[in-house]
Amino acid sequence: MALQRLPGELVARGTRSSIRAYGRGAVVKIPHRSTPDGWIEWEAQYADDVRAVGAPVPRLLGIERLSGRAASVWEHIRGCSMWQRVVDRPDDSAELGRMLADVQCALLELVPPITLPRQRDRVVAKIRMSAVKVDASLIRALDLIPIAASPPHLCHGDLHPSNVILSDDGPVIVDWFDASRGDPVADIARTSMTLLNDGATPPRHLPGSDLETLGTLTAAYLSQLRLRLEFADAQLVQWQAIQAVARIAEGVPRDSLIEVWRSFARANPPVAAQAASN
């Protein structure tokens, strides 16, 4: 079905799509030209499925067509993003970092829908793409992926402050394309990689603040998770290296990601290399 009305003012813009007002009480998510066909439908399905198991997600109103491509229509959640709150109130960054951790913990407690992809499959595909497009040696990250956790948990896959809306009824989470069934520590590591700086500035999906504020938020986020969940620092560091390689495939600035990987690889050379040096 073609769009029934013209999209209105811009509400938000991400790396894959733009959100525009769409009549009273609704918004429409319009994919960028570079976004692959099918992405909108898959993301809408994942979001609808996780909402059914209790995740705080906007209600999907339908799928329509714009210039021959799918566009998803959602209820309009009133409120600012968590990141906008950080920009407006940098002194609250530690509190908001702890809130981000609490939001993630609440998701991890839910039973993941069987319709979601396996986290391992997503990570493996991205690592292979990074190795092909950037550096063949990155394929080593495949050997570091731990045996899948049992049972799997609900993992958002891209949980950062721009994907959390602070509504009057509490945090609401958007952008579910990377959702999966998987390891909680892998999801934490993924979030920590989305909080990495791009050189001297915050990443492009977290604009308008500064590195000190971002660092405060990140430290509070990880500290809160360590209080609420049981995991070893070595386990998190290993998953951060794996997720850094996977994220390289997404076309984001990669210098900080490559440094995370190289730092881990230097400290943990392959067994064959260790034997040769002895």
Q: Are strands 26-31 and 69-75 parallel, antiparallel or unpaired?
A: antiparallel
User: Whole-number mean pLDDT of the chain?
Assistant: 93
Question: In the listed set 75, 102, 124, which residue is the last one of a domain according to the structure?
Answer: 75
In this structure, the number of other CB atoms found within 10 A of the CB of residue 102 comes to: 14
What is the C-alpha separation between 49 and 175, in angstroms, rounded? 13
In this structure, the number of other CB atoms found within 10 A of the CB of residue 158 comes to: 24
Question: In the listed set 21, 52, 75, which residue is the last one of a domain according to the structure?
Answer: 75
State mean pLDDT over 221-244.
97
pLDDT digit string, tens, across residues 14-31: 888 999 999 889 999 999
CATH of the domain at 58: 3.30.200.20
Flag whether pLDDT at 272 surpasses 60.
Answer: no
Q: Which one, of 270, 18, 46, lies nearest residue 144 by Cα?
A: 270
Are 19 and 130 within one domain?
no
In this structure, the number of other CB atoms found within 10 A of the CB of residue 116 comes to: 21
Token duo for residue 63: 């799928």
Q: Is the backbone peptide bond immediately before 90 cis, with ω within 30 degrees of 0?
A: no
Are 39 and 137 within one domain?
no
Are 180 and 198 within one domain?
yes
Residue 198 per-residue DSSP state: B
Q: How many domains does the chain have?
A: 2
What is the C-alpha separation between 138 and 130, in angstroms, rounded? 7
Q: Which residues constitute the domain of residue 21?
A: 10-75
Are 63 and 88 within one domain?
no
Flag whether pLDDT at 276 surpasses 60.
Answer: no
Are 92 and 45 within one domain?
no
Are 180 and 267 within one domain?
yes
Sign of CA dihedral 217, 223, 229, 233: positive
CATH of the domain at 246: 3.90.1200.10
What is the C-alpha separation between 27 and 105, in angstroms, rounded? 28
Sign of CA dihedral 52, 55, 60, 63: negative
| pLDDT above 90 coverage of the chain, percent | 81
Flag whether pLDDT at 274 surpasses 70.
Answer: no
Residue 146 per-residue DSSP state: P
Coil/strand/helix, residue 240: helix
pLDDT digit string, tens, across residues 71-100: 999 999 999 999 999 999 999 999 999 999
How confident is residue 125, by pLDDT bands cut at 50, 70 and 90?
very high
Q: Does the residue 1 lie in any domain?
A: no
Flag whether pLDDT at 273 surpasses 80.
Answer: no
Q: Which residues of 262-277 are buried (b: 16+ CB within 10 A; e: fewer)?
A: eebbeebeeeeeeeee
How confident is residue 278, by pLDDT bands cut at 50, 70 and 90?
very low
Token duo for residue 207: 């604009």
Alpha helices in 1-159 (DSSP H): 39-52, 82-88, 93-108, 119-133
Question: In the listed set 58, 75, 92, which residue is the last one of a domain according to the structure?
Answer: 75
Are 266 and 166 within one domain?
yes
Q: Does the residue 4 lie in any domain?
A: no
Are 123 and 16 within one domain?
no
Are 66 and 188 within one domain?
no
Q: Does the residue 3 lie in any domain?
A: no
Are 90 and 179 within one domain?
yes
Are 197 and 234 within one domain?
yes
The angle at the Cα of 179, spanning 46 to 22, to the nearest 5 degrees, equals 50
The tally of CA atoms less than 13 A away on the side-chain side of residue 229 is: 25
Q: Does the residue 5 lie in any domain?
A: no
Contact 229, 105 (CB under 8 A): yes
| Backbone angles phi and psi of 199, in degrees to 5 | 70, -120
Give the dihedral of Cα atoms 217, 219, 222, 227; nearest 10 deg.
Answer: -110
State mean pLDDT over 153-181.
97
- What pTM was estimated for this model as a whole? 0.93
Flag whether pLDDT at 275 surpasses 50.
Answer: no
Tell me, what's the pLDDT at 4? 63
